[in-house]
Structure 1
């Protein structure tokens, strides 16, 4: 099992991750404001973080936790299947993946943070 925080991600993913950080959605920006600079109980999160073949919306290496922020595109059957397979592969690396809908973040950020904290403890 890889112990580095990138799990062998290729250089092209780092450039794509940079582009994604520059184009974060309103929900991602709101959540990032709560996670950045170790604000959530001292845990360090990275935004748009390359892991293996994927880019996680947010990643905490210490907790081995990935947070995904999902919009409407994640309701399409093909995307549902892709997300399911992606989560399986990330779980195989020993990582936990949790998902939040954009609307949940935008309307009840405190509940989202409470849920995230439950995975950190």
Structure 2
């Protein structure tokens, strides 16, 4: 698969649209802080696909992926799938940041600072 063929694959379009329409409250809260280049002038996309994975938030200029995890992400098959997925995305040179949903509600400013700290060009941040 060519590099230009791994993002927003057509067969995942409906899934991406459904996920955007049915965001969790944690995703909605974080999106209010990321959209319109509000975080250090960086553009984020939500429910963006890379290969066959749909990531919660993606900043192309920084190659940063932000994932918000509910309780089910800490156990069983979901946890294993996340490990495999993260390994593949890291192979493609993406940085993956995972935050529990509760962190968005309890430590939003710290979460935003952690995201910014992972930007390579700190001068713009």
Structure 2 residue 77 is matched with structure 1 residue 72 = no
Whole-Å separation in 1 of the counterparts to 2:36 and 2:65: 17
Whole-Å separation in 2 of the counterparts to 1:102 and 1:9: 25
In the other structure, the counterpart of 2:116 is: 117
In the other structure, the counterpart of 1:21 is: 20
Gap regions ≥5 residues in structure 2 = none
Whole-Å separation in 2 of the counterparts to 1:56 and 1:8: 11
Normalising by structure 1, we get a TM-score of: 0.93
Q: CA deviation at 1:12?
A: 1.9
In the other structure, the counterpart of 2:45 is: 46
Q: CA deviation at 1:10?
A: 2.7
- Once structures 1 and 2 are overlaid, which stretch shifts more, 101-110 or 75-84? 75-84
Whole-Å separation in 2 of the counterparts to 1:47 and 1:98: 14
Q: CA deviation at 1:9?
A: 4.4
Instruction: Give RMSD over aligned pairs.
Output: 1.4
Normalising by structure 2, we get a TM-score of: 0.90
Whole-Å separation in 2 of the counterparts to 1:20 and 1:112: 22
Gap regions ≥5 residues in structure 1 = none
In the other structure, the counterpart of 1:60 is: 59
